[in-house]
Amino acid sequence: MRSLRIAALAVALAFSGAPAFAQGQHDLEQVLIESANTPAQHQALAEHFRAKANAARAEAKDHRSMADSYGGTKLMVAAAQRKHCNDIAANLEAQAKSYEALAAAHEAEAKKK
């Protein structure tokens, strides 16, 4: 059973950036979260969520860069695009904070056992 859970986590990590697997990934994450009961499983989840936080931060940085590329023009669409990119970046940064909180909770759980 333990090797099945580890394999499932490995699959979740392998597909963490693939949009086509997003719903399946979410379902698999839920199963892994609910079944985690060893320090190693909680540490693996912590690392998974920390990786997701880093990916969200990287995507936020890309959107901030895109927002900056609209600077200096007087077009109305440029202001709208800057706002769009900055809003997405802010949402991604908030998402990263949430993933960091999940990672910290799983690390704390891993240290308890």
Q: What is the pLDDT of residues 68-105, one digit of tens each?
A: 887 666 677 788 888 999 999 999 999 999 999 999 99
**pLDDT at position 2:** 52
The better pLDDT of the pair 90, 34 is held by 90
Q: What is the 3-state secondary structure (H, E, C) of the chain?
A: CHHHHHHHHHHHHHCCCCHHHHHHHHHHHHHHHHHCCCHHHHHHHHHHHHHHHHHHHHHHHHHHHHHHHCCCCCCHHHHHHHHHHHHHHHHHHHHHHHHHHHHHHHHHHHHHC
Q: How many domains does the chain contain in total?
A: 1
Find the domain containing 101 and state its range.
Answer: 2-112
With cut-offs at 50, 70 and 90, classify the pLDDT of residue 35.
Answer: confident
